Structure 1
Amino acid sequence: MEKFASDFYNNYRRLGQIDLLANNGGKKKLPIFLLRVVIELVFHSRKYDVIHLYDAVLSPLIFFVRLFSKAKVTFTVNGLDIVYSRLGYQIFMPFFLMKADKIIAISQYTMEQCVMRGIPKEKLMVIPVGYNFKSIEVLSVEKRIATMSKYGISWREKKILITVGRLVKRKGHAWFIEHVLIELPKDYIYLIIGDGPELKLLSKLVTKLDLIGRVYLLGRVSDEEKGNLYQMADLFVMPNIHVEGDQEGFGIVLLEAGQYGLPVIASNIEGVRDAVLNGKSGMLIDEKNSMGFIDSILRFNPDKSAILPALNSKFNWDKVITAYFEMFQDFSV
């Protein structure tokens, strides 16, 4: 979310005047950040036509805007900031959020979750996440060999599946290994990039199922190495499963994979579906439909050269920022 907010700011500056107040310290610095925001709102909110907050967690701040300013208040909501369920959050968040003038959901799923919590439909609209698509330099043979050698990956004459994301239950790594990978031909290998609380579970599962040499838990890798691995992969898989209170608001890594012309096979749930152009950039499969995943992995063969242009036409920052700009302009008139 922090990266999207930063990209939003940098892209919006090309169209209109904007000031940024950002929390660069993560959750530990959130209380200090909130105090800083309150002070800014008390003394400076009057000079703005629109105050945009990028997270439903900040919804109580609308009280201070209304008290000290006539500015319109808008929010971008992402998914987890809507479904989070601890400490009475589901009581105070909707109460404050519905007082906003406009709420932008990053996916249809996120908008549906808002409606379920009593947010009026007329206050909601969907604008997807933007992405800075860039041209990719073709990976040399030397870099291919160096990258695979570093991680000890036996890759020659293999079909390479890749996943990028935090190792948490909702990502479906364990389910995919147990129900899909084990049923695929043995020339399919699975690279998992990321770290998280399920690392030990996945490591034990790989050993238990005798999949050492077919599943590689790579942990965190550099951006350069990740790009190298994307270029060497055949398919990106995102086999998410539903976990109450920990849903996927969008699937930004699906756009990242598409930048490399990499087709995706993903679960047709939550915000994941919004990031896949079904049949063009990838295939959406019913959650936990192992045969659907297997069949698509074996048979899906799209025109890879068409993936990036298709995604760029929908998710490029120019289009996303224009949608925000026009919405803000309506408030400023």
Structure 2
Amino acid sequence: MIEEQESGNARAAILLVTRNLPPLRGGMERLNRHIAIELASGFRVLVVGPIGCRAHLPATVDVHEAPVRPLWRFLARALLLSLSQGRKARPRIVLAGSGLTAPIAVITAGIMHARSAVYAHGLDLVTPNLLYRALWLPFLRRCDVCIVNSRNTARLARQVGIRQERITVIHPGVELPVETGNDGCAAPDFRQRHGLQACKVMLSVGRLTPRKGIPEFVRQALPRIVSACPDVVLVIIGDEAPNALQGSGLGAGERLMECARELGLERHIRMLGACEDAELAIAYDVADLCIFPVRALPGDVEGFGMVAVEAAAHGLPTVAFDVGGVGDAVADGCSGRLVPAGDYDMFVEQVVQTLQIGRTVEVSAACRRFAAGFEWRKFGARLSDRLRQLVSNDGSLP
């Protein structure tokens, strides 16, 4: 058995190939970082990733870096690194951190007589780019295992021809905050720095891409929310995703504030840009509500909704449109409210109602109980178990 082979220095090797790692920012980047961290507790992990990622991974992980841009250069360099390191380490599994690197995983695994796996996020299955669909999707179908982040992404995987038996849903994880008792001044300081004293705070976390729906929320929902709750402020944390492959949203922040000025709502919005994890954690603790007004767009999809689970881990409820995989990330009536896609009337109603109820002890406790099921340790155990099945004694596949 593989467990016996992993004793001492004979642990099975896994090669993770991905463009999505810090220092790039986003949910996929955090997820891939934790994939490497969690797998390193039971496997010998090698990573081929973007330049700068070594600083964000444990010293026990063998890291090899490739330039992020242009994209073709990353893919070419990542393939060469995967082949050269694969020959040395002889990995049992080559894991693509998204559909983008699935061809590299399949090619490398084939040459190394290893197994191939991919973690699919949703957009990598539905993107309308014809070249991608013609060249990349066949490689996703050839992967021995396709791990997906939600039930909706599993449905999309089946639609593009990936066999049901090879699809496994493993939701992304979350880091549960540790109560230290030493940050009593953090929340008042955050409020003071951003002019939020005596305000109710709605928090939006995510890159300013069209799918996230923030401009539409400001136009169609914020005026009515402000009318019902005059002291409310929308705090937006996230950059314009300059490294995104689709929907970079460049210039979105300026257009958003111009819209707010036209509506006379500029004093009800604070744009903080990208924040470090510590600052983001304080924002979750300070806020009264997290909003996630995601849009259903052709050729784009919200694969899961990690922000909602992160908010819940801090005891913060979320009001979200039930789009894509968001229904797996919000427990309706427990960690927040799910609203039918595009129904701004109901969205406003749920936001106002949640703000009026307030962030009570009971509300926060329910959120934290829900988030506990997504702890990174549990994610790592599920992922490791699935990959061990892939390289079990007989090596049979569905």
Moved more, 298-307 or 108-117: 298-307
Alignment root-mean-square deviation, CA: 2.3
Moved more, 162-171 or 32-41: 32-41
Moved more, 161-170 or 184-193: 184-193
Asked if structure 2 preserves the Cα contact closer than 8 Å seen for 1:136 and 1:260, the reply is no
Identify the match of residue 239 of structure 2 among 191, 195, 207: 195
- Specify the alignment match of 1:167 in structure 2: 208
Residue 155 of structure 1 pairs with residue 197 of structure 2: yes
Q: Deviations over 1:161-193 (max 9, x none)?
A: 111111122111111112222112122221112
Cα distance in 2, alignment partners of residues 79 and 20 from structure 1:
22
- SS of 1:128's partner is coil
* Alpha-carbon distance, 1:138 to partner: 5.6
* Alpha-carbon distance, 1:73 to partner: 0.9
Asked if structure 2 preserves the Cα contact closer than 8 Å seen for 1:42 and 1:64, the reply is no
Residue 275 of structure 1 pairs with residue 316 of structure 2: no
Using the aligned pairs only, state the percent identity: 24
Moved more, 240-249 or 44-53: 44-53
Asked if structure 2 preserves the Cα contact closer than 8 Å seen for 1:263 and 1:307, the reply is yes
Asked if structure 2 preserves the Cα contact closer than 8 Å seen for 1:131 and 1:255, the reply is yes
Cα distance in 2, alignment partners of residues 3 and 232 from structure 1:
22
Cα distance in 2, alignment partners of residues 39 and 259 from structure 1:
37
Cα distance in 2, alignment partners of residues 27 and 275 from structure 1:
30
* Alpha-carbon distance, 1:18 to partner: 2.8
Q: Deviations over 1:102-136 (max 9, x none)?
A: 10011112222222212221221111112222214
- SS of 1:112's partner is helix
- Specify the alignment match of 1:27 in structure 2: 68
- The unaligned stretches of length 5 or more in structure 2 are 1-27, 52-65, 241-249, 394-398
Residue 207 of structure 1 pairs with residue 261 of structure 2: yes
Superposed, 1:1-333 pairs within 5 Å as 1-24=28-51, 27-28=68-69, 30=71, 31-32=73-74, 34-41=76-83, 44-45=86-87, 47-65=90-108, 67-137=110-180, 142-151=185-194, 153-156=195-198, 158-184=199-225, 185=228, 186-196=230-240, 197=250, 198-300=252-354, 301=357, 303-313=363-373, 315-332=374-391, 333=393
* Alpha-carbon distance, 1:142 to partner: 4.2
Cα distance in 1, alignment partners of residues 189 and 107 from structure 2:
55
- SS of 1:28's partner is coil
Asked if structure 2 preserves the Cα contact closer than 8 Å seen for 1:38 and 1:64, the reply is no
- SS of 1:167's partner is coil
* Alpha-carbon distance, 1:154 to partner: 4.1
* Alpha carbons of structure 1 residues 21 and 140: separation in structure 2 relative to 1, 3 Å: closer
* Alpha-carbon distance, 1:249 to partner: 1.5
Cα distance in 1, alignment partners of residues 167 and 281 from structure 2:
36
Asked if structure 2 preserves the Cα contact closer than 8 Å seen for 1:277 and 1:311, the reply is no
* Alpha carbons of structure 1 residues 47 and 269: separation in structure 2 relative to 1, 3 Å: same
Task: Report the number of matched residues.
Answer: 330
> What's the TM-score once normalised by structure 2's chain length?
0.76
* Alpha carbons of structure 1 residues 192 and 26: separation in structure 2 relative to 1, 3 Å: farther
* Alpha-carbon distance, 1:141 to partner: 6.3
- The unaligned stretches of length 5 or more in structure 1 are none
Moved more, 11-20 or 175-184: 11-20
Cα distance in 2, alignment partners of residues 111 and 66 from structure 1:
23
* Alpha carbons of structure 1 residues 328 and 204: separation in structure 2 relative to 1, 3 Å: same
* Alpha carbons of structure 1 residues 279 and 221: separation in structure 2 relative to 1, 3 Å: same
* Alpha-carbon distance, 1:49 to partner: 2.1
* Alpha-carbon distance, 1:221 to partner: 3.1
* Alpha-carbon distance, 1:93 to partner: 1.7
* Alpha carbons of structure 1 residues 177 and 122: separation in structure 2 relative to 1, 3 Å: same
* Alpha carbons of structure 1 residues 145 and 293: separation in structure 2 relative to 1, 3 Å: same
* Alpha-carbon distance, 1:148 to partner: 2.5
